[in-house]
Each structure stands twice: as structure tokens, then as C-alpha cells.
Amino acid sequence: MYANGRIGRVVAVSVGQRVTTDDQLARLLQIGIVLEEVVEARAYHHYQSLDEALDEEIETLLEDAAEESADHRERLETLIDGLGVDSVPFDEIESLVDARYGRTRPEDFDGVLYDQLCNEETAYKFYDDLIEAIHESDADFSVDREELLDTLETIREEESEGVREVTEVMERR
Amino acid sequence: MNTADQYLKTIYVIQQGTDGPASTGGIADALDVSPASANEMIGKLESRGLAEHEKYKGVHLTDDGIVRAREALQTYCIIERFLANVLAVEEFRTEARELEAVIDGTVADRLDTIIDRKPECPDCFDPETDACACLELVSNPPE
């Protein structure tokens, strides 16, 4: 440990990008669920806050985003069920989004689209890193590895399509 | 956050704590890696212009390195706060350390939209406790 007094008790960290235990995997899947819940709740808020001015294209985009997130959440919940871990209740995350939304909400259409783009890109990056971390690990998880990767890869692909869709809408406007 | 970020964060914390360069041995100890591994990564950080290594003195971060280290530290604070306050994880520090290599800064930014982080972050990071000094622990997640 460090020789210098003030930071002498800093705890050693493990370096690496692997998922090695069921608990770690379950926690990451819970984080995935929260990310999906944030997307769903924010899409709903955008919908409400821009209600009168919304055009059909953005309205559909927000509806689809919320529906897709709910679907991803269910698939992740099935996976963590197999690991014996609880999901994170949607209303809990929704109330946190409610509490902070005023501080982080986009101000106009461009902002809403940009926020959606961030959502899709963030989710893509999360699943991509998670898939890589699982590939890097030879750990035996309580859930079927093939099914796990299959589910995550499908979700990642849908997030990638989401990025394309939002980008296309942004380019058209 | 990737491995390079973990090194940057560690060097930054040592640098701040000692008001001087970080020794290779100190970095290796903090990250629980061999001095050879630490040297290898320090070389990579140098080649990317993020750190400078002076023989017999130690490593210090460049301005770019400091910016990235502070981002890494902020990502860590977000993960820690998220685990403690949203998921009510008891061992949030241990888990944050385990998860930081897998959670990217963009993902942390999204989690940041639902936590109540203080504006002084990441300066509030306390190396003694390896945690944010203004982190209030709640027994139950907020309703």
C-alpha cells in the first residue's frame, strides 16, 4: 500500500474488464434494467412536456422507444430471475426520473431527439461492453451462457437499429 | 471505464494526496498489479500524452491526463452513488470497484440523471474512505 500517510489505506482494486461471478453479472443486468427504465420514463416525460407541439414522427419515435425499452426490460428480467436476483421496480426509477427531470430535460424537439440518440447510444455501449466482458470471462454462470449472449446480442442489435432510426430522423429535419 | 482510466484515476489520487509524483510501486500496490504491469501501462499513458515518467522521481499526469482522470473519478463517484442510493447495495464500494472497468462514462452519465450528485464532485472524493465525502447513505431507496 502507499507509503504516504494520507492515502495509506486506499483499498486495492482489481484491474480488468471481465465479469467473473453470478453476483457481478446480476448487478450489471440490473443496471441494464435501470437504463431501460430511464429511457422509458424519459420518453414518457418528453411526450408529456411537448404534448401540444409534438408531430407524428417524434410521437411515434417516443412511443416505439418506450415500448422497446419495456420489452428489453422484460427480457433482462427473465435473465436475472435465473440468477435468483430481484429486478428494480419501474415505479422506483420513474420517481427518480420525475425528481430530476426538470434539471436535465431537453428544451425543444432537437433536444428530445438528441436525448433519444444518447439513450440508444448509451444502451448500445452498455450491452457492447457487457458482451465483451462476458466473452473475456470463462466463468460458469447459473444461466445458460449461450442464451445469455443471445439475448444481449439481440438487444444490442436493436439498440444499434435505434441509433440508425433516430439519426435518420435528425438528418431529415 | 477502461483499465487505462483506472490507472489515471489512481495516479491522480496519489498525486493529489502527496502533492507530488506517484511512484510506480505505489501505483502497482494501489491497483494490486505487478510493478512490471504498472510500468507497461505507464509507458502506454506516456505515449498517449497523458502522463510523464521521470526516472527515480515517479509519474505525474499531463493536463490532458488530469482531465481524463477527473472524468474517470467522476464516473466512479456516479457508480458508487448509484449503487448506494438507488440500488441500496450495502457493499457499494467493493461493487463499484468491481464494476468500474465495465461501466463506460456515457453509461454513467445516464445513471447520473437519476442520482443527486453534488456540484463539487469529483473534488469531494476522499481517498481515505475510497468514496465520495458527501455521499449520504439511505437505508431505503427514495420513493
d(CA A129, CA B59): 29
Task: State the residue range of the domain holding B30.
Answer: 3-66
How far off is chain B from A126, nearest CA to CA, in Å? 6
Residue B139 covered by a domain: no
Check CB contact of B4 with chain A, cutoff 8 Å: no
**B77 and B123 belong to one structural domain:** yes
**B96 and B112 belong to one structural domain:** yes
Q: Which three cell numbers stand for residue A162?
A: 435505434
Give me the interface pTM, i.e. the ipTM.
0.81
If DSSP codes are grouped into helix, strand and coil, which group holds residue B109? helix
Looking up residue B45, the CATH number of its domain turns out to be 1.10.10.10
A87, closest residue in chain B (CA to CA): B87
| Domain A18-172: CATH superfamily, name plus number | Ferritin, core subunit, four-helix bundle (1.20.1260.10)
Structural domains counted in chain B: 2
pLDDT in tens, chain A (173 residues): 333 333 333 334 444 567 888 888 999 999 999 999 998 998 888 888 776 666 888 888 889 999 999 999 999 999 998 888 878 888 889 888 888 887 888 877 788 899 999 999 999 999 999 999 999 888 899 999 999 999 999 999 999 999 999 999 889 87
Cβ-defined contact of A16 to B101 (cutoff 8 Å):
yes
A2, closest residue in chain B (CA to CA): B26
Phi, psi (degrees; rounded to nearest 5) at B129: -100, -5
pTM listed for this prediction: 0.82
Cβ-defined contact of A16 to B143 (cutoff 8 Å):
no
Cβ-defined contact of B32 to A93 (cutoff 8 Å):
no
Residue B11 covered by a domain: yes
Mean pLDDT of B80-107: 88
Measured at the CA of B130, the angle between CA B125 and CA B131, to 5 degrees, comes to: 50
- Nearest CB to B102 within list A6, A17, A88: A17
Is the pLDDT confidence value at B44 over 80?
yes
Is the pLDDT confidence value at B23 over 70?
yes
What is the per-residue DSSP string for B39-107?
HHHHHHHHHTTSEEEETTTEEEE-HHHHHHHHHHHHHHHHHHHIIIIIS--TTHHHHHHHHTTTS-HHH
Cβ-defined contact of A35 to B115 (cutoff 8 Å):
no
What is the per-residue DSSP string for chain A?
--SSGGGTTPPP--------SHHHHHHHHHHHHHHHHHHHHHHHHHHHHTGGG--HHHHHHHHHHHHHHHHHHHHHHHHHHHTT-----HHHHHHHHHHHHHHH--SSHHHHHHHHHHHHHHHHHHHHHHHHHHHH-----SS-HHHHHHHHHHHHHHHHHHHHHHHHHHHH-
Looking up residue B100, the CATH number of its domain turns out to be 1.10.60
Residues 55-94 of chain B with CB under 8 A from chain A are 82-83, 86-87, 89, 93
Q: Which residues of B touch A125 (CB under 8 A)?
A: 104, 106-107
| Cis amide leading into B122 (omega within 30) | yes
**B128 and B87 belong to one structural domain:** yes
**B81 and B53 belong to one structural domain:** no
